[in-house]
Amino acid sequence: MALLITDECINCDVCEPECPNGAISQGEEIYEINPDKCTECVGHYDTAQCVEVCPIDCIIPHPGIRESRDELMRKYERLAAQS
Residue ranges that bind ligand SF4, judged by CB under 6 A: 3, 5, 9-15, 18-19, 21, 23-24, 31, 33, 38-41, 48-50, 53-54, 56, 58-59
Nearer residue to ligand SF4 within complex by CB, 40 or 67? 40
Minimum Å gap between C-beta 79 and ligand SF4 is 9
Who contacts 38 (Cβ-Cβ below 8 Å, separation ≥6)? 2, 3, 19, 21, 23
How many C-beta neighbours within 10 Å does residue 31 have?
Answer: 21
Minimum Å gap between C-beta 83 and ligand SF4 is 13
CA–CA gap between residue 8 and residue 69 (Å, rounded): 27
